[in-house]
Structure 1
Amino acid sequence: MLCATFSQIEIRGKKGRTVPVLLTSEIESNIDLLLQHREMAGIHPENLYLLPRSNFNSKEPIRSTDVLRKYGKEANLCKAENITSTKLRKHIATISQVLNLSRHDLETMAEFMGHDIDIHRSIYRLPQETIQVVKMGRLLSAFDNGTIVQYRGLDEITNYLRFKGGLLTLVL
Protein backbone atom coordinates (compact mmCIF):
# COMPACT_ATOMS: atom_id res chain seq x y z
CA MET A 1 0.00 0.00 0.00
CA LEU A 2 2.86 2.40 0.84
CA CYS A 3 4.63 1.49 -2.41
CA ALA A 4 1.50 2.61 -4.26
CA THR A 5 1.45 5.86 -2.24
CA PHE A 6 5.11 6.82 -2.70
CA SER A 7 7.65 6.60 -5.47
CA GLN A 8 11.36 6.96 -4.95
CA ILE A 9 14.00 8.92 -6.79
CA GLU A 10 17.66 9.29 -5.92
CA ILE A 11 19.63 12.51 -5.71
CA ARG A 12 23.32 13.12 -5.25
CA GLY A 13 24.26 13.66 -1.62
CA LYS A 14 27.47 14.39 0.23
CA LYS A 15 30.61 12.53 -0.79
CA GLY A 16 28.96 11.34 -4.01
CA ARG A 17 26.47 9.14 -2.18
CA THR A 18 22.99 8.75 -3.57
CA VAL A 19 20.20 9.75 -1.24
CA PRO A 20 16.66 8.48 -1.85
CA VAL A 21 13.72 10.87 -1.82
CA LEU A 22 10.12 9.74 -1.44
CA LEU A 23 7.50 11.46 -3.57
CA THR A 24 3.72 11.41 -3.32
CA SER A 25 1.66 11.25 -6.51
CA GLU A 26 0.70 14.90 -5.96
CA ILE A 27 4.35 15.95 -5.87
CA GLU A 28 5.02 13.87 -8.99
CA SER A 29 2.19 15.70 -10.79
CA ASN A 30 3.67 19.03 -9.73
CA ILE A 31 7.09 17.97 -11.03
CA ASP A 32 5.55 16.98 -14.37
CA LEU A 33 3.91 20.43 -14.56
CA LEU A 34 7.25 22.13 -13.85
CA LEU A 35 8.96 20.10 -16.55
CA GLN A 36 6.25 20.90 -19.12
CA HIS A 37 6.64 24.67 -18.61
CA ARG A 38 10.43 25.02 -18.32
CA GLU A 39 10.83 26.95 -21.56
CA MET A 40 7.97 29.33 -20.75
CA ALA A 41 9.57 30.00 -17.33
CA GLY A 42 12.85 31.06 -18.98
CA ILE A 43 14.87 28.03 -17.96
CA HIS A 44 18.10 27.63 -19.94
CA PRO A 45 17.71 24.55 -22.19
CA GLU A 46 21.01 23.10 -20.95
CA ASN A 47 20.02 23.39 -17.28
CA LEU A 48 19.39 19.79 -16.26
CA TYR A 49 18.33 20.49 -12.66
CA LEU A 50 14.76 19.76 -11.58
CA LEU A 51 14.60 23.04 -9.66
CA PRO A 52 16.72 25.36 -11.80
CA ARG A 53 17.44 29.04 -11.46
CA SER A 54 15.50 30.94 -14.09
CA ASN A 55 17.60 34.11 -13.99
CA PHE A 56 20.45 35.15 -16.29
CA ASN A 57 20.28 31.95 -18.35
CA SER A 58 21.72 30.11 -15.37
CA LYS A 59 22.71 26.47 -15.59
CA GLU A 60 22.68 26.16 -11.79
CA PRO A 61 19.98 24.86 -9.39
CA ILE A 62 18.03 26.82 -6.83
CA ARG A 63 19.78 26.52 -3.47
CA SER A 64 17.46 24.82 -1.00
CA THR A 65 19.07 26.61 1.95
CA ASP A 66 18.14 29.97 0.42
CA VAL A 67 14.54 28.83 -0.12
CA LEU A 68 14.18 27.57 3.47
CA ARG A 69 15.69 30.78 4.84
CA LYS A 70 13.44 33.00 2.70
CA TYR A 71 10.17 31.25 3.57
CA GLY A 72 11.13 30.85 7.22
CA LYS A 73 11.46 34.63 7.43
CA GLU A 74 8.30 35.26 5.41
CA ALA A 75 6.37 33.01 7.78
CA ASN A 76 7.55 35.21 10.68
CA LEU A 77 8.91 32.24 12.59
CA CYS A 78 10.47 33.30 15.87
CA LYS A 79 13.55 31.13 15.19
CA ALA A 80 13.60 30.91 11.40
CA GLU A 81 17.32 30.13 11.49
CA ASN A 82 16.46 26.72 12.95
CA ILE A 83 14.59 25.70 9.80
CA THR A 84 17.39 24.00 7.87
CA SER A 85 17.63 20.65 6.12
CA THR A 86 20.53 19.68 8.38
CA LYS A 87 18.53 20.41 11.55
CA LEU A 88 15.51 18.58 10.14
CA ARG A 89 17.64 15.49 9.46
CA LYS A 90 19.16 15.75 12.95
CA HIS A 91 15.69 16.05 14.47
CA ILE A 92 14.50 12.93 12.64
CA ALA A 93 17.65 11.04 13.66
CA THR A 94 17.37 11.97 17.33
CA ILE A 95 13.62 11.41 17.59
CA SER A 96 14.02 7.98 15.99
CA GLN A 97 15.92 6.88 19.09
CA VAL A 98 12.79 6.90 21.20
CA LEU A 99 11.17 4.50 18.73
CA ASN A 100 13.44 1.68 19.90
CA LEU A 101 14.40 0.72 16.34
CA SER A 102 16.18 -2.55 15.74
CA ARG A 103 19.79 -2.39 14.56
CA HIS A 104 18.68 -3.27 11.02
CA ASP A 105 15.94 -0.59 11.02
CA LEU A 106 18.37 2.00 12.36
CA GLU A 107 20.90 1.13 9.64
CA THR A 108 18.15 1.35 6.99
CA MET A 109 17.06 4.76 8.24
CA ALA A 110 20.62 6.09 8.45
CA GLU A 111 21.36 4.87 4.92
CA PHE A 112 18.12 6.41 3.64
CA MET A 113 19.10 9.75 5.15
CA GLY A 114 22.60 9.53 3.69
CA HIS A 115 24.26 9.07 7.07
CA ASP A 116 27.09 6.74 7.90
CA ILE A 117 25.73 4.48 10.69
CA ASP A 118 28.69 5.17 13.00
CA ILE A 119 28.33 8.94 12.56
CA HIS A 120 24.59 8.58 13.02
CA ARG A 121 25.07 6.76 16.32
CA SER A 122 27.77 9.05 17.70
CA ILE A 123 26.53 12.49 16.61
CA TYR A 124 22.77 12.08 16.96
CA ARG A 125 22.74 10.14 20.23
CA LEU A 126 20.26 11.45 22.79
CA PRO A 127 21.25 11.44 26.46
CA GLN A 128 19.94 8.34 28.23
CA GLU A 129 17.99 10.58 30.64
CA THR A 130 16.03 12.08 27.72
CA ILE A 131 15.12 8.66 26.36
CA GLN A 132 14.01 7.53 29.83
CA VAL A 133 11.85 10.63 30.32
CA VAL A 134 10.14 10.06 26.96
CA LYS A 135 9.52 6.36 27.53
CA MET A 136 8.46 6.69 31.15
CA GLY A 137 6.36 9.74 30.32
CA ARG A 138 4.54 7.75 27.64
CA LEU A 139 4.03 4.86 30.04
CA LEU A 140 2.77 6.97 32.93
CA SER A 141 0.50 8.98 30.63
CA ALA A 142 -0.98 5.71 29.37
CA PHE A 143 -1.58 4.61 32.96
CA ASP A 144 -3.14 7.97 33.77
CA ASN A 145 -5.55 8.14 30.82
CA GLY A 146 -6.48 4.43 30.88
CA THR A 147 -4.92 3.46 27.55
CA ILE A 148 -2.15 1.23 28.90
CA VAL A 149 -3.80 -1.89 27.42
CA GLN A 150 -3.16 -0.69 23.86
CA TYR A 151 0.59 -0.71 24.48
CA ARG A 152 0.73 -4.31 25.60
CA GLY A 153 3.44 -6.06 23.64
CA LEU A 154 5.24 -2.96 22.32
CA ASP A 155 8.94 -2.95 23.14
CA GLU A 156 9.16 0.64 24.31
CA ILE A 157 6.43 0.06 26.87
CA THR A 158 6.96 -3.57 27.86
CA ASN A 159 10.59 -2.93 28.72
CA TYR A 160 9.22 -1.27 31.85
CA LEU A 161 6.37 -3.66 32.62
CA ARG A 162 6.15 -7.08 34.25
CA PHE A 163 3.14 -9.31 34.59
CA LYS A 164 2.94 -11.15 37.91
CA GLY A 165 -0.08 -13.29 38.59
CA GLY A 166 -2.16 -11.35 36.07
CA LEU A 167 -1.18 -7.98 37.57
CA LEU A 168 0.70 -5.38 35.61
CA THR A 169 3.51 -3.83 37.63
CA LEU A 170 5.91 -1.02 36.78
CA VAL A 171 9.62 -1.83 36.99
CA LEU A 172 11.59 1.24 38.08
Structure 2
Amino acid sequence: MKLQSYESVVNSNKEDCLNILTDAEKELTKHFKRVITVGKGSKPVSILFPKRVQEFVDMMLLVRKTTTVVPKENPFLFALAGSWIDGSSTLRKYAVSCGAQNPATLTSSRLRKQIATVLQILNLTEIEMEQVATFMGHTKKTHEEFYRYFNFL
Protein backbone atom coordinates (compact mmCIF):
# COMPACT_ATOMS: atom_id res chain seq x y z
CA MET A 1 0.00 0.00 0.00
CA LYS A 2 1.30 3.41 -0.91
CA LEU A 3 1.73 6.08 1.75
CA GLN A 4 -0.30 8.43 -0.40
CA SER A 5 -3.30 6.05 -0.23
CA TYR A 6 -3.18 5.94 3.57
CA GLU A 7 -2.87 9.70 3.91
CA SER A 8 -5.62 10.55 1.42
CA VAL A 9 -9.12 11.13 2.75
CA VAL A 10 -11.95 9.13 1.20
CA ASN A 11 -14.91 11.47 0.89
CA SER A 12 -16.51 10.39 -2.36
CA ASN A 13 -20.26 10.01 -1.89
CA LYS A 14 -19.78 9.63 1.87
CA GLU A 15 -23.31 10.78 2.67
CA ASP A 16 -24.82 8.47 0.02
CA CYS A 17 -22.86 5.56 1.47
CA LEU A 18 -23.94 6.32 5.03
CA ASN A 19 -27.60 6.54 4.04
CA ILE A 20 -27.72 2.87 3.00
CA LEU A 21 -26.11 1.57 6.19
CA THR A 22 -27.92 0.22 9.22
CA ASP A 23 -27.52 2.05 12.53
CA ALA A 24 -25.07 -0.61 13.72
CA GLU A 25 -23.00 -0.27 10.53
CA LYS A 26 -23.00 3.53 10.88
CA GLU A 27 -21.68 3.16 14.43
CA LEU A 28 -18.90 0.87 13.22
CA THR A 29 -17.76 3.45 10.64
CA LYS A 30 -16.80 5.75 13.52
CA HIS A 31 -14.18 3.27 14.71
CA PHE A 32 -12.34 2.65 11.45
CA LYS A 33 -10.39 4.57 8.84
CA ARG A 34 -11.24 3.37 5.35
CA VAL A 35 -8.36 3.42 2.89
CA ILE A 36 -8.71 2.54 -0.77
CA THR A 37 -5.71 1.00 -2.47
CA VAL A 38 -5.09 -0.78 -5.74
CA GLY A 39 -5.63 -4.53 -5.69
CA LYS A 40 -5.40 -7.38 -8.15
CA GLY A 41 -6.17 -6.32 -11.69
CA SER A 42 -5.91 -2.62 -10.71
CA LYS A 43 -9.26 -2.84 -8.92
CA PRO A 44 -9.85 -0.61 -5.89
CA VAL A 45 -9.75 -2.47 -2.57
CA SER A 46 -10.93 -1.03 0.75
CA ILE A 47 -8.87 -1.62 3.88
CA LEU A 48 -10.24 -0.79 7.32
CA PHE A 49 -7.84 0.46 9.99
CA PRO A 50 -9.13 0.26 13.58
CA LYS A 51 -8.35 3.27 15.81
CA ARG A 52 -5.61 1.39 17.70
CA VAL A 53 -3.83 0.42 14.46
CA GLN A 54 -4.15 4.03 13.26
CA GLU A 55 -2.29 5.13 16.41
CA PHE A 56 0.56 2.72 15.63
CA VAL A 57 0.70 3.77 11.98
CA ASP A 58 0.71 7.46 12.98
CA MET A 59 3.60 6.81 15.37
CA MET A 60 5.47 4.94 12.65
CA LEU A 61 4.90 7.84 10.24
CA LEU A 62 6.16 10.35 12.80
CA VAL A 63 9.39 8.38 13.20
CA ARG A 64 9.65 8.07 9.44
CA LYS A 65 9.23 11.83 8.90
CA THR A 66 11.69 12.82 11.62
CA THR A 67 14.46 10.33 10.79
CA THR A 68 16.26 8.93 7.78
CA VAL A 69 15.45 5.28 8.57
CA VAL A 70 13.30 5.04 5.46
CA PRO A 71 14.36 7.01 2.37
CA LYS A 72 11.92 9.86 1.62
CA GLU A 73 11.46 8.59 -1.96
CA ASN A 74 10.14 5.20 -0.74
CA PRO A 75 6.40 5.43 -1.55
CA PHE A 76 5.18 2.51 0.58
CA LEU A 77 3.39 2.81 3.90
CA PHE A 78 5.06 -0.23 5.44
CA ALA A 79 8.49 0.42 3.98
CA LEU A 80 11.71 -1.34 4.78
CA ALA A 81 14.87 0.67 4.87
CA GLY A 82 16.34 0.46 1.40
CA SER A 83 14.30 -2.45 0.04
CA TRP A 84 10.81 -3.88 -0.40
CA ILE A 85 9.02 -7.20 0.00
CA ASP A 86 5.81 -8.65 -1.31
CA GLY A 87 3.22 -10.75 0.50
CA SER A 88 3.64 -13.86 -1.65
CA SER A 89 7.38 -14.07 -1.01
CA THR A 90 6.88 -13.56 2.70
CA LEU A 91 4.19 -16.23 2.86
CA ARG A 92 6.48 -18.66 0.99
CA LYS A 93 9.40 -17.90 3.30
CA TYR A 94 7.42 -18.54 6.48
CA ALA A 95 5.64 -21.59 5.05
CA VAL A 96 9.08 -23.19 4.66
CA SER A 97 10.59 -21.91 7.92
CA CYS A 98 7.64 -23.01 10.10
CA GLY A 99 8.25 -26.62 9.16
CA ALA A 100 5.02 -27.19 7.28
CA GLN A 101 4.90 -30.66 5.72
CA ASN A 102 3.85 -29.25 2.36
CA PRO A 103 4.88 -25.57 2.28
CA ALA A 104 4.12 -25.22 -1.45
CA THR A 105 0.42 -25.54 -0.63
CA LEU A 106 0.45 -22.46 1.63
CA THR A 107 -0.19 -19.73 -0.94
CA SER A 108 -2.22 -16.53 -1.00
CA SER A 109 -4.50 -18.01 -3.68
CA ARG A 110 -5.26 -21.01 -1.50
CA LEU A 111 -5.82 -18.73 1.48
CA ARG A 112 -8.38 -16.72 -0.52
CA LYS A 113 -10.05 -19.97 -1.59
CA GLN A 114 -10.16 -21.16 2.02
CA ILE A 115 -11.71 -17.87 3.15
CA ALA A 116 -14.32 -18.09 0.40
CA THR A 117 -15.11 -21.70 1.28
CA VAL A 118 -15.51 -20.94 4.98
CA LEU A 119 -17.76 -17.99 4.12
CA GLN A 120 -20.13 -20.43 2.43
CA ILE A 121 -20.93 -21.92 5.82
CA LEU A 122 -22.23 -18.51 6.90
CA ASN A 123 -24.92 -18.68 4.20
CA LEU A 124 -24.42 -15.06 3.16
CA THR A 125 -26.95 -13.21 1.02
CA GLU A 126 -26.07 -12.30 -2.57
CA ILE A 127 -25.34 -8.71 -1.53
CA GLU A 128 -23.07 -9.87 1.29
CA MET A 129 -21.26 -12.24 -1.07
CA GLU A 130 -20.76 -9.37 -3.52
CA GLN A 131 -19.28 -7.28 -0.70
CA VAL A 132 -16.91 -10.10 0.23
CA ALA A 133 -15.85 -10.52 -3.41
CA THR A 134 -15.17 -6.79 -3.67
CA PHE A 135 -13.26 -6.82 -0.39
CA MET A 136 -11.09 -9.67 -1.72
CA GLY A 137 -10.41 -7.64 -4.87
CA HIS A 138 -12.62 -9.66 -7.20
CA THR A 139 -15.67 -9.06 -9.26
CA LYS A 140 -18.75 -11.01 -8.22
CA LYS A 141 -18.39 -13.13 -11.37
CA THR A 142 -14.76 -14.01 -10.60
CA HIS A 143 -15.70 -14.91 -7.05
CA GLU A 144 -18.53 -17.16 -8.20
CA GLU A 145 -16.48 -18.88 -10.91
CA PHE A 146 -13.27 -19.50 -9.00
CA TYR A 147 -14.03 -19.38 -5.28
CA ARG A 148 -17.60 -20.52 -4.80
CA TYR A 149 -17.63 -24.24 -4.18
CA PHE A 150 -21.19 -24.68 -2.92
CA ASN A 151 -23.51 -23.14 -5.50
CA PHE A 152 -26.55 -24.58 -3.79
CA LEU A 153 -26.27 -22.20 -0.78
- Superposition RMSD on alpha carbons, in Å? 2.6
TM-score normalised to structure 2 length: 0.67
Note the 1:2-151 alignment, pairs <5 A: 2-38=28-64, 40=67, 42-55=69-82, 58=83, 61-127=84-150
Shift of 1:9: 1.0
Q: For 2:99 and 2:52, how far apart are their aligned partners in 1?
A: 27
Runs in 1 of length 4+ with deviation above 4 angstroms?
none
Q: Kindly tell me: are residues 91 and 50 of structure 1, through their superposed partners in 2, closer, same or farther at Cα, counting changes over 3 Å? A: same
Cα pair 1:65 1:84 within 8 Å, conserved: yes
SS at match of 2:60: helix
TM-score normalised to structure 1 length: 0.61
Q: Kindly tell me: are residues 11 and 67 of structure 1, through their superposed partners in 2, closer, same or farther at Cα, counting changes over 3 Å? A: same
Q: Per chain length, whose mean CA-contact separation is higher, i.e. which structure has more relative contact order (CA < 8 Å, sep 6+)?
A: 2
Percent identical residues: 31
The structure number with the bigger radius of gyration is 1
Shift of 1:106: 1.2
5+ residue gaps in structure 1? 132-155, 157-172
Give the partner amino acid of 1:122.
E
The alignment of Structure 1 onto Structure 2 pairs a total of residues equal to 126
Q: Kindly tell me: are residues 122 and 71 of structure 1, through their superposed partners in 2, closer, same or farther at Cα, counting changes over 3 Å? A: same
Give the partner amino acid of 1:46.
E
